[in-house]
Chain A
Amino acid sequence: MLKQMEGSRAVAEAVALCRPEVICAYPISPQTHIVEALGELVKEGALTPCEFINVESEFAAMSVAIGSSAAGARTYTATASQGLLFMAEAVYNASGLGLPIVMTVANRAIGAPINIWNDHSDALSQRDSGWIQLFAETNQEALDLHIQAFRLGEELSLPVMVCMDGFILTHAYERVDMPTQGQVDAYLPRFEPRQILDPTDPVSIGAMVGPEAFMEVRYLAHVKQMQALELIPKYAAEFKEVFGRNTGGLLHTYQAEDADTMIVAMGSVLGTIKDTVDELREAGHRVGVLGLTLFRPFPTAAVAAALAGAKRVVVVEKSLAVGLGGIVATNVRMALANSPAHVFTVVAGLGGRAITMKALRELFLKAEREELDALSFLDLNLELAGKGLELELVKRRSGPLAENLLRAAGPARNY
């Protein structure tokens, strides 16, 4: 049924349709509306049987999720930013133990400096945690991916992170097609755990593993995660049969067929990128788009195939590997190891810096002219950054950098 609603509410209703039995979460912006809505649904009795467990921290949230998933309950949580970092130890445990928890990450920057706005630093910091990572472009995709995530995670006995841009998606009202309970039930079978803490058939979970088998356990974690590359397209196809929509898959392309310049990105910025590409296409520029839905496991072969015809590849990413450059771009470069294409890394939108069509248009044209540096920062205010450096040059005790830059920047205007 078509509805005009907030992204967070849409995800909460979709998660509820998946019949989770335990939801445990600690509120943090911009994830809060999702778990608030789920809490209401549980309290109203609209989502039953389900236990909503209030916890005292994100570390506790993931710990409870581990316990309930090991006990055989379909388990859901959500977090963002510092919350994800705070639960990091348990995040690794959940995947290491092979527990199919589904978690929304409402993507937000990581401090310091503290910043509540959107970028992908939080989820990408956990890229090697063993979780499957999916990124949503729209609220429709966000809600659809949650339904697929339970299916995928439970089949592989692996946890899945569904990443959606904080505020930009979580707080946006837009049209979504909300599935029916019957559709979701037809698509998502009952949770049949591969391992379960059952008093009638006791096992212990969480053995200490020494050098004699640790490598093998880790190797199998990799092998298992790579199986997602086969399952995801299959589940996306089945999803289309039940729901009538193309959602999910490893990646998708747009205007890519004869493109010399391919733009790679993840998440909601793909919409703005597609509008920009349409404009450039009309002006005769051969530009196309590759949107990554799946980041872990990294769909290396599919990325290489999708970019095979491109002369140059521009990776626009909302993350920064300090001391290296790009995170997504580094992965894309690996996929293009045997390709002559030039790869450009563009760090954009950190901490909620708006990514505008105007900036993207200039960027793509610059890339087309091969005038782009290997690493660049979109809409970076170099003058402002320079003031920070200047201060440090003239004065040893120059004070806290973030505060100095804020003073130099003056009042914000975010429109």
Chain B
Amino acid sequence: MFQIRIHGRGGQGVVTATEMLSIAAFEEGRHAQAFPSFGSERTGAPVVAFCRIADKEIRLREPIMEPDALIIQDPTLLHQVDVFAGLKPGGYILINTNKTFDQLGLGDYVRDWPAERLCTVAATEIAMKHVGRPVPNVPLLGGFAAISGIIKLESVIKAISEKFSGKVMDGNIAAATAAYQQVLREIEEARQSA
């Protein structure tokens, strides 16, 4: 079973992101369970949502306390919330920022990490460019497909088509694809320099 935790703020589409991730996994014939952590549904407040992906029925209903992957939609949460709580050593970390892990002050924390499992991508900028709104959730899913290989970009695109239509759908597909390609490039570079 592969477990993903997404941290963000109310209004950034955190819950929608896990739902779409589960749809993408379902499209690949896998079992998936997405659920939010409830309580702070105010705009701007820290929000957490979870997604499990497996090849058999998922019965477990506890929150994800030891994720295999983290998506952080807002880097300002690093100073507010213990986003890394329980993250498996060497787990995937994808952060929405145009800074590097060193610039974020995370260099020490991830020193022993495989470089290709760490990535930052300016998803809000990508969303502004393609969708016209600062919603980083969908491009981050594209980025997640690239960094983890757990789901395919085509499945993310199918999930986008299920959730949105018209221009919003087109914009989000473009944003997810752009982030996917950027992350692929970044991890390729990381592999070569490692």
Contacts and interface: CB of A to CB of B under 8 A. Distances in A.
A174 interface: yes
B112 interface: no
Given A352-B38, A413-B85, A415-B50, A173 B62 contact: no
Given A6-B19, A272-B61, A415-B5, A173 B39 contact: no
B38 A173 contact: no
A274 interface: yes
Contacts of A116: 38-39
Interface string B15-46: 00011001100110001111111110000000
A414 B61 contact: no
Nearest to B62: A356
Interface stretch (A55-63, A99-107, A164-172, A339-347): A164-172
B126 to A, nearest CB: 25
Contacts of B18: 173
Contacts of A6: 19
A41 interface: no
Contacts of B23: 4, 173
A269 interface: yes
B159 to A, nearest CB: 9
Contacts of A355: 61-62
B19 A173 contact: yes
B82 interface: yes
Contacts of B58: 174, 271
Contacts of A174: 22, 31-34, 58
Interface string A85-110: 00000000000000000000000000
A412 B5 contact: no
A135 interface: no
A150 interface: no
A286 interface: no
Interface string A259-300: 000000000111110110000000000000000000000000
A356 B35 contact: no
Contacts of B31: 174-175
Contacts of B34: 172-174
Interface residues of B, number: 30
A174 B62 CA distance: 15
Contacts of B36: 167, 171
A235 interface: no
A117 interface: yes
Contacts of B85: 413, 415
B62 A357 contact: yes
B59 A274 contact: yes
Interface in A1-25: 2, 4, 6
A415 B64 contact: yes
Nearest to B63: A415
A117 B39 contact: yes
B65 interface: yes
A415 B63 CA distance: 5
Contacts of A2: 26
B151 interface: no
A221 interface: no
A173 B162 CA distance: 14
Nearest to A137: B59
| Most B CB within 10 A of own CB, among A167, A175, A269, A356 | A175
Interface in A129-181: 138, 167-168, 171-175
B14 to A, nearest CB: 12
A42 interface: no
B161 to A, nearest CB: 13
A274 B58 CA distance: 11
17 contacts: A4-B22, A4-B26, A117-B39, A138-B59, A167-B35, A167-B38, A171-B36, A172-B33, A173-B35, A175-B32, A270-B59, A272-B59, A354-B63, A356-B62, A356-B65, A414-B37, A415-B65
Interface of B: 5, 18-19, 22-23, 26-27, 31-39, 48, 50, 58-65, 81-82, 85-86
Given A167-B36, A167-B38, 19 more contacts: A4-B22, A116-B39, A167-B35, A168-B61, A171-B36, A172-B35, A173-B23, A173-B32, A174-B31, A174-B58, A271-B60, A271-B61, A272-B59, A354-B63, A356-B65, A413-B85, A414-B38, A414-B48, A415-B50
